[in-house]
Each structure stands twice: as C-alpha cells, then as structure tokens.
Amino acid sequence: MNLFNLHTHSRFCDGKEEPEEYIKQAIELGYHTLGFSSHAPVPFENNFSLKEEEMEEYFSTIRALGDKYKSQINILLSLEIDFIPGITKKFSEFSKEGNLDYTIGGVHLVRNMEKDKLWFIDGSKQETYDDGLQKLFKGHIRNGVEAYYNQIIEMVATQKPDIIAHLDKIKMHNKNRYFTEEEGWYKDLVWKTLKFIADESNCIVEVNTRGLYKKRSDTFFPGPAILEQIHHLKIPITLSADAHQPHELNGYYEEAIKLMKEIGFKELVCFDKKGRIKQQIN
C-alpha cells in the first residue's frame, strides 16, 4: 500500500531534524505524500511551537523543498494549530498567511474559563497532567474531561479544521487512574463529540499512531471502540504518525491498517494541491 503522512514536526517546532531529512526517509519508504505541520505559534512562552518570527522561513523552506523533490514525492504545507478559546488566533488567519494546503486542529491545553491557567494534557510528564487537574479542576476528572471534549466541539464549530488531531488524547496520562473509557459519562461525551463532528462538520479524524510507538498509550488515538463509532457515523479518517523524527514516519502503520480493515474502513483521506483525495485501504 502506497502510504503518506500529513502530520510531521521538524526542527521548526518540537521536531528533531531538518525537513529535508524527513523527505528523504519518506521517499525511501515509498510514500507518495508528506505533509509538514509545525505547531502554530501561541501567544505565550513555550518550548513546542513555531515562533512567530520564523513562520516565513518555515513556509518558504517547505515550499522550496516541495519544488526540489516534486518529481519524487508530493510535499504539502500545513500547521497543527492549537485551539484555546479566547487565546489563540483564528485558523483561517494562519491558513491565509501561509497559503496552507490543509489545517490540523488540536487541543493540547484545556481552558477552565474561571481560571487564568491552562491544563496541559500532553507532553512527557504525567505529573504535569496531575498538577493541572488539581489546580484547574480541583481533581474532578469528569469536569476536566468535559472541558476537553467541549473545547474540541467548539474548535470544530468555529475553526473548521480539515483534520482533527489525536481526538482522545485526554486519555494518555490518565492510564485508567482517574477514569476508564468504559464509564458511561465518558462514552456519552465521546458520542456527543462524534455526533457533532458527523452532523455539523466536514472534518477528518486522524488515526494517530504516536501514543503506541512512544509507549505512552495502549491504543491508537482514537482507540478501537471510538474508531468503530467513527465508522458507524461515516466520519472520514486519515492515518498519521505524528512524527517528530524521520524514523518515526511509519511507526505502527501496519497495525493501524490491520485494525482499520477489521473495523470495516475502506478508504483514507489524503490531500494534494487541489484538496482532498481518497485512497483505498488494501
């Protein structure tokens, strides 16, 4: 199966290598498309996002590499854009600035509207997750998880990203300590979110393999039970490694494709310069 990756982080944000190194690896893997998606700038100090003053360099670098390798692979330009209500810039502004080929929307920082601070649910440190839960939601996991999924719904409604990143990433540092995915309230929240995506948007949900190959999750983002609901609701999907290093570009792809076929998915959505294209899963 001729594959692709639309979710790639290079040295312009929290990735490790020059973009060209990822392109060489993708060509070696036989990929037909590689999309770069640096974390878009956010208006506060951090160590993961593209800096505002480096945006032009990022855009021009990826476009130039696209021209250089156009006979071998399709190179696309994107951003993974954080959505934090009342804080982050509109997705459409980033899209216009970079003339992006598509947008990826994600929630890594959950806002409690009554507090000034944000709950960082990502990163490598479980204690950061625990500390944020205590400080922003007084340890009430249900309130925190509700805020997370409501923020995703608001992102879909107001920003309309092409792709929704790692839909259930809220589970990553939970590790069944505060809640299980079998609890009724959690399943209801996920279903409400998926129904909104299906009924009110044209968004694609990515099957993100990073949690597994980094050993931070026992399942993909989203997990099998949610993928079955996505299939039932006919929400389009794509496959992503969320690579931060070139060697991660095909991490757990075989396992993901096997699972998608078992659930009944027949196609993935990719992009080219004209927009969305469908690719059969075989």
Mean pLDDT by 10 residues, the chain (282 residues): 93 97 98 98 95 98 98 98 97 98 98 90 96 97 98 98 98 97 98 98 98 96 98 98 97 97 98 96 90
Q: In the prediction, which pLDDT does 263 show?
A: 98
Residue 66: both structure tokens together? 């696209």
Q: Which helix (H) or strand (E) is 275 found in, with range?
A: strand 275-280
Q: In the prediction, which pLDDT does 282 show?
A: 85
Q: Could you tell me which of 106, 101, 107, 195 has the C-alpha nearest to residue 148?
A: 107
List C-alpha distances in Å: 101 to 76, 195, 228, 277: 6, 26, 29, 12
pTM of the model: 0.97
Residues 131, 137, 139, 144, CA torsion sign: negative
Q: In the prediction, which pLDDT does 116 show?
A: 81
Q: In the prediction, which pLDDT does 112 show?
A: 93
